[in-house]
C-alpha cells in the first residue's frame, strides 16, 4: 500500500484541529497548502458507469449520501442529518479503480480545486481532507459530531480522501443532489466494455458537453 508521508498526516491533523476550534481562516489556509503540495489542485471520483452517473455528469450534479453510511464517530442523529460525497487527490489508484469503479469497467472524473471551492460556497458545503489517525475521536458537542466525518483510521490513508459535506438538522432526505459542477476530464477504465450502449452514450456525452475523454493514464 502507498500510504502518506508524515508531513501530510500532520497537516491533515492540523486542519482538523482548526475546524474543531472554529478557526476557519487557518483551516482554509492549510487546505490551500495541502492542495499546493500535492498535485496542483486536481481531484478525482472513481465511479461505476451507468445511466444515473451519465445523467449526473450531463446536468452537473453530485450526489451526497447520508453520513451514517460512512466510517465516523459522534452521535448517530447528527450523522443521520449530515451528507457526504467522497473525492481523492490520488491519481490513477488501482485499489480505487477496483473498489469504486467496477473493477476498472467504470470511469474516473477529474475536477479542479477552484471549481470545487465555488461549488462548495454556492451550496453551503465544506470541502476538506479526511484526518487519518488511530486515535479515536470522541466528540462532545453537535458541531464536533459533524466533524467526525473528517476522521478515518490510518489503514485507509492510501485513499488520500477528501470529503464534500454538510449538516442539515432540519432535513430527513435520503440524500442530496447538488448542482452545478462538471468534471473537466473523464478517464475510462481499462476494462470498460467498448461494445456496450453505455460506452456509446459516454462518447456522446463527451462530445455534447465538450468534456475531454481519455483512456486510463
**What digits encode the pLDDT tens for the residues 193-216?**
999 999 999 999 999 999 999 998
Expressed as residue numbers, the domain containing 173 is 41-215
Residues forming beta bridges with residue 39, ordered by sequence position: none
210 within some domain = yes
pLDDT of residue 147: 78
**Total domains in the fold of the chain:** 1
46 within some domain = yes
**What digits encode the pLDDT tens for the residues 130-175?**
999 888 666 665 566 677 778 888 999 999 999 999 888 888 888 8
pTM above 0.95, yes or no: no
- What nine digits make up the cell of 119? 461549488
For residue 181, is pLDDT > 70?
A: yes
DSSP 90-123: -SS-HHHHHHHTTTTTSEEEEEEHHHHHHHHHHT
65 within some domain = yes
166 within some domain = yes
Amino acid at each position: 500500500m502507498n500510504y502518506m508521508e508524515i508531513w501530510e498526516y500532520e497537516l491533515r491533523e492540523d486542519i482538523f484541529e482548526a475546524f474543531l476550534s472554529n478557526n476557519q481562516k487557518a483551516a482554509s489556509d492549510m487546505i490551500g497548502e495541502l492542495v499546493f503540495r500535492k498535485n496542483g489542485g486536481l481531484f478525482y471520483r472513481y465511479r461505476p458507469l451507468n445511466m444515473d452517473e451519465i445523467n449526473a455528469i450531463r446536468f452537473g450534479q453530485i450526489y451526497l449520501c447520508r453520513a451514517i453510511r460512512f466510517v465516523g464517530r459522534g452521535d448517530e442523529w447528527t450523522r443521520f442529518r449530515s451528507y457526504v460525497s467522497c473525492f481523492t487527490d490520488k491519481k490513477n489508484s488501482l485499489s480505487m479503480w477496483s473498489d469504486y469503479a467496477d473493477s476498472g469497467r467504470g470511469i474516473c472524473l477529474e475536477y479542479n480545486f477552484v471549481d470545487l471551492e465555488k461549488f462548495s460556497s454556492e451550496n453551503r458545503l465544506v470541502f476538506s481532507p479526511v484526518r487519518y489517525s488511530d486515535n479515536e475521536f470522541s466528540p462532545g458537542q453537535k458541531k464536533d459530531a459533524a466533524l467526525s466525518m473528517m476522521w478515518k483510521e490510518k489503514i485507509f490513508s492510501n485513499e488520500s480522501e477528501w470529503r464534500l459535506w454538510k449538516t442539515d438538522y432540519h432535513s430527513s432526505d435520503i440524500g442530496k443532489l447538488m448542482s452545478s459542477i462538471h468534471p473537466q476530464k473523464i478517464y475510462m477504465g481499462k476494462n470498460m466494455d467498448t461494445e456496450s450502449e453505455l460506452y456509446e452514450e459516454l462518447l456522446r456525452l463527451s462530445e455534447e458537453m465538450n468534456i475531454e475523454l481519455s483512456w486510463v493514464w
